[in-house]
Amino acid sequence: MITTSFVLTDEQQTFELGTIVGAQASPGEIWNLSGDLGTGKTVFVQGFAKGLGFSGKVTSPTFALQNIYPCPTIILYHFDWYRLLTSDEVEALGWMEWIEKKGVILVEWGNKFKNLFPQRTLSVEFEMVSENQRRLTFLAMDEEQSARIEELMRCWPQ
């Protein structure tokens, strides 16, 4: 496993990193976004959606459990497992069907039910470094994922 960390100075940088990752996304991608409250997961998704060309509002899906954003060339499925207690509940929401779709899936609090993710899932861990700074760590499990992260680093100016 190869890990790549980005230390981001403020919320805006989290948004911008999300935008670059989103702009490079391809159909069928699944992202597990994990980290405590207030570490920037939703901000990252807001940037990601912008990178996919979505111009509408992207908000936290904690209550709704799932938001769907139709982007110009792809559909973005935004899940949040914060409130869920068992993996049965995730499956009852049709998880196995959603992951077969050719959209892009982003899951906040994915680490709660890690075993529900298919092997191709990409993971990011969010941490609070200081009041404004955040550390985002991308985990690459194979060569294909390493290449995906390297491409991201090439496009990241900092």
Partner 1 sequence: MERRLILGVESSCDETALAIVDQGRYVLSNCVASQAHLHRKYGGVVPEVAARNHLQWFPILLKETLAKAQVGFEDLAGIAVTSEPGLIGALLIGLSLAKGLAFRLQIPFLTVNHLEAHLYAAELNEAPIEFPALGMVISGGHTEVYWIEHWGKCQLLIETRDDAAGEAFDKVAKLLGLPYPGGPEIDRLALQAEPRQDLFPVSKMKDGSLDFSFSGLKTAALLEIQKYQPLLETHKHRIALKFQLTVIEQIKHRLLEMMRTYHPTTVIVGGGVAGNLALRSMLQMEVEQKMNIRLRIPVREYCSDNAAMIAGLGTYYFTRGKHSSWNASAFPVDRIRREVIKK
Positions touching partner 1 (CB under 8 A) are 36-38, 42-43, 46, 57, 59-60, 62-68, 83-86, 89, 92-94, 131
CB of 151 to partner 1, least distance (A): 29
CB of 95 to partner 1, least distance (A): 11
- In order of 69, 75, 76, 80, 105, the CA distances from 102 in angstroms are 13, 8, 10, 19, 9
Decide whether 74 or 149 has the Cβ nearer to partner 1: 74
Decide whether 13 or 145 has the Cβ nearer to partner 1: 13
Decide whether 31 or 69 has the Cβ nearer to partner 1: 69
How many angstroms separate the CA atoms of 49 and 69, rounded? 8
Give the DSSP per-residue string, 104-130: EEEEETGGGGGGGS-TT-EEEEEEE-S
CB of 17 to partner 1, least distance (A): 17
